[in-house]
């Protein structure tokens, strides 16, 4: 049975970009006759804005996007993340790391391999085989050390290069964007599961929650596409079911970057029925939905039909 979710971080009100992701995940759930959930991803308490969750829930309700179950909050689910981390530690797939950002950059500079991914450097694996008497700061996933005979070892394709482990390249299929591939070990490195400040990392929390909530389909913005291989690795390591993924186009700011508060995204204007309909129409255009419907309910209903014809191959 289909279960989908919208999982915003409460860092501010919904803007044009986040409304696209919300609408797409709602449409996909409804087009499949499924359940739509909202999960407030408030693990990164440093970035959360007080009251933003309530604002977003109100904006969604004003657009007619109502969750089928009460929203859950990641800040209340730390015990689940700890259990998952303990499992990975027991399987030797997670290890403590004593490196600061500076330490990592120094090592990479020495190796002449300074590569970055967003704001994070590709971790060179310094603490993979021990802390060398440094105090532990964070916990990382070991991209090198999978237990043989677990699904992970079977499903990741071999790579021919000598001196490389045989399970590095991860292939997966996005429902909208098609075949995807990533070598997590080379391109990302051993990624963080629990941060030096004690906060849970997005990658672990999202995987644990998608499984705990029985999510079958993840529909979200393409800015998160790059995280998916890491999440699939974690699902395989934790022996969790793998949801299907669909990434939607991003709404770009005039500067060509992803729309965010930093480059002037303003709250989606949904105070009246007409303004909500206008905001949804705009979000719909980003998803290629040019359809009729003069009321909110009509517009949503006809969008579900368009979505069904496009993304639900078995329904027609």
Binding mask 72-91 for ligand GLU (x = CB under 6 A): --------------------
CB distance 62 to 300 below 8 Å? no
Please report how close the Cβ of residue 226 comes to ligand GLU at its closest, in angstroms.
Answer: 12
Distance (Å, whole) CA 49 – CA 23 = 22
**How would you label 7-38 residue by residue, b for 16+ Cβ within 10 Å and e otherwise?**
bbbbbbbbbbbbbbbbbbbbbbbbbbebbbbb
Nearer to ligand GLU among residue 152 and residue 201 (C-beta): 201
Would you count residue 140 as binding ligand GLU (CB under 6 A)? no
C-alpha–C-alpha distance, residues 162 and 101, integer Å: 30
Q: Decide whether 168 or 209 has the Cβ nearer to ligand GLU.
A: 209
Which span (1-9, 45-53, 99-107, 248-256) binds ligand GLU, by CB under 6 A? 1-9
Q: Is 3 in the site for ligand GLU (CB under 6 A)?
A: no
Task: Looking at residues 209 to 238 of the shown chain, list those that interact with ligand GLU (rule: CB under 6 A).
Answer: 220, 224
- Smallest distance, Å, CB 52 to ligand GLU? 11
CB of 276 to ligand GLU, least distance (A): 21
Question: Looking at 3-11, 28-36, 118-126, 239-247, which segment touches ligand GLU (CB under 6 A)?
Answer: 3-11
Question: By C-beta, is 94 or 224 nearer to ligand GLU?
Answer: 224
Smallest distance from ligand GLU to CB 215, Å: 10
Q: Does 67 bind ligand GLU (CB under 6 A)?
A: no
Closer of 20 and 127 to ligand GLU (Cβ): 20
Q: Does 41 bind ligand GLU (CB under 6 A)?
A: yes
Nearer to ligand GLU, 51 or 130 (CB): 51
> How does strand 217-221 pair with strand 3-6?
parallel
Residue 179: left if φ>0, alpha if ψ -120 to 50, beta else—which one? beta
Among 2, 3, 4, 8, binds ligand GLU (CB under 6 A): 8
Can you state the angle between helices 78-90 and 202-212, rounded to 10 degrees? Answer: 100
Among the listed residues 4, 9, 26, 104, the single contact to ligand GLU using CB under 6 A: 9
Task: Restricting to residues 193-212, name those near ligand GLU by CB under 6 A.
Answer: 206
Beta bridge pairs of residue 189: 123
Is-contact 77 131, C-beta < 8 A?
Answer: no
At 220, give phi and psi (nearest 5°): -160, 175
Bridge partners of 38?
6
By CB under 6 A, which span of 2-10, 107-115, 135-143, 232-240 interacts with ligand GLU?
Answer: 2-10
7 touches ligand GLU (CB under 6 A): yes
**Which window, 4-12, 80-88, 168-176, 179-187, contacts ligand GLU (CB under 6 A)?**
4-12
Of 105 and 223, the one with the shorter C-beta distance to ligand GLU is 223
Interacting residues with ligand GLU (CB under 6 A): 7-9, 41, 206, 220, 224
């Amino acid at each position: 049975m289909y279960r989908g979710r919208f999982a915003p971080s409460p860092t501010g009100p919904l803007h044009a970009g986040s409304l696209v992701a919300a609408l797409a995940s709602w449409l996909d759930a409804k087009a499949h006759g499924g359940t739509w959930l909202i999960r407030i991803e408030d693990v990164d308490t440093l970035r959360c804005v007080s009251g933003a969750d309530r604002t977003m829930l109100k904006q969604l309700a004003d657009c007619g996007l109502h969750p089928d179950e009460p929203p859950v909050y990641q800040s209340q689910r730390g015990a689940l993340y700890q259990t998952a981390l303990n499992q990975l530690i027991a399987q030797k797939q997670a290890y403590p790391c004593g490196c600061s950002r500076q330490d990592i950059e120094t090592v990479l500079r020495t190796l002449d391999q300074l590569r970055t991914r967003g704001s994070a450097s590709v971790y060179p694996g310094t603490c993979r085989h021990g802390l060398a008497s440094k105090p532990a700061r964070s916990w990382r996933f070991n991209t090198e050390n999978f237990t043989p005979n677990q699904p992970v070892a079977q499903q990741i394709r071999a790579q021919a290069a000598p001196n490389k482990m045989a399970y590095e390249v991860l292939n997966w299929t996005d429902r909208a964007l098609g075949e995807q591939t990533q070598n997590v070990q080379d391109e990302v490195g051993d990624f963080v599961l629990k941060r030096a400040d004690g906060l849970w990392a997005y990658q672990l929390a999202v995987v644990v929650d998608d499984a705990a909530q029985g999510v079958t389909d993840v529909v979200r913005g393409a800015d998160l596409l790059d995280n998916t291989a890491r999440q699939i690795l974690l699902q395989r390591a934790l022996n969790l079911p793998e949801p299907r993924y669909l990434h939607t186009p991003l709404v770009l700011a005039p500067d060509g970057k992803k729309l965010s508060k930093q480059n002037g995204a303003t709250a989606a204007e949904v105070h009246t029925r007409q303004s909500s309909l206008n905001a949804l129409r705009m979000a719909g255009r980003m998803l290629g939905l040019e359809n009729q419907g003069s009321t909110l309910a009509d517009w949503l209903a006809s969008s579900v039909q368009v979505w069904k014809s496009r993304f639900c191959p078995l329904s027609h």
